[in-house]
């Protein structure tokens, strides 16, 4: 995130005003199943809710925190589900790097993801998003019904994309 550009974009009077505004912003964790819908619409559902999230994130009305894993997953989805050119993919990745806040995971995050994966019987990849959600005390939004159904009964802070507006 480019804080110097952002502070000039919003005409903030002081750095303290900027920090207060940032602290009060809603924080969400999204997985690749949601982010993919920002750029690909064919045979996809819940596009309206995905579009609202994209618009809010683009306008910096909320903060979306993601592990770097999200980039690998999004690129992989594009490889297997589309015939996107490398040039278009480059623009998408640049935009994601600008819109999202990517975090580096530490050993505690990986350990927690492992515990979650054991409890929920899901992949480490999916569990990493829940671990990040717990770390930042932020809701995790997914469009993956199978993942949602596996995690929701375990009382994780997970929301299915189609219900996002009711959240």
Distance CA 148, CA 160 (A): 6
Q: pLDDT tens-digit profile of 80-132?
A: 999 999 999 999 999 999 999 999 999 999 999 999 999 999 999 999 999 99
Of 87, 102, 86, 85, the C-alpha closest to 35 is 102
Cβ(129)–Cβ(157) below 8 Å: no
Tokens of 90: 């480059």
* pTM, rounded to two decimals: 0.82
3-state secondary structure of 83: coil
26-166 sits in which CATH class?
Answer: alpha beta
Rounded to whole angstroms, the Cα distance separating 167 from 125 reads 24
pLDDT at 14: 55
pLDDT at residue 45 in the model: 84
Identify the three-state secondary structure at position 141.
strand
Domain ranges of the chain: 26-166
**11-39: pLDDT as tens digits:** 445 544 544 455 567 999 999 999 999 99
User: Which residue, 29, 69, 35, is CA-closest to 49?
Assistant: 35
């Amino acid at each position: 995130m480019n804080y110097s550009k952002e502070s000039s974009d919003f005409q903030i009077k002081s750095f303290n005003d900027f920090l207060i505004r940032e602290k009060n912003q809603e924080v969400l964790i999204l997985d690749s199943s949601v982010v993919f819908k920002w750029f690909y619409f064919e045979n996809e559902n819940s596009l309206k809710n995905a579009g609202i999230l994209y618009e809010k994130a683009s306008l910096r009305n909320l903060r979306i925190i993601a592990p770097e894993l999200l980039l690998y997953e999004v690129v992989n989805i594009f490889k297997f589900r589309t015939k996107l050119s490398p040039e278009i993919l480059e623009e998408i990745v640049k935009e994601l790097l600008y819109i999202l806040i990517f975090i580096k995971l530490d050993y505690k995050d990986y350990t927690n993801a492992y515990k979650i994966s054991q409890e929920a019987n899901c992949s480490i990849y999916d569990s990493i998003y829940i671990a990040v959600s717990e770390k930042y005390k932020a809701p995790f939004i997914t469009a993956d019904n199978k993942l949602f159904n596996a995690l929701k009964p375990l009382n994780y802070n997970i929301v299915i994309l189609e219900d996002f507006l009711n959240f």
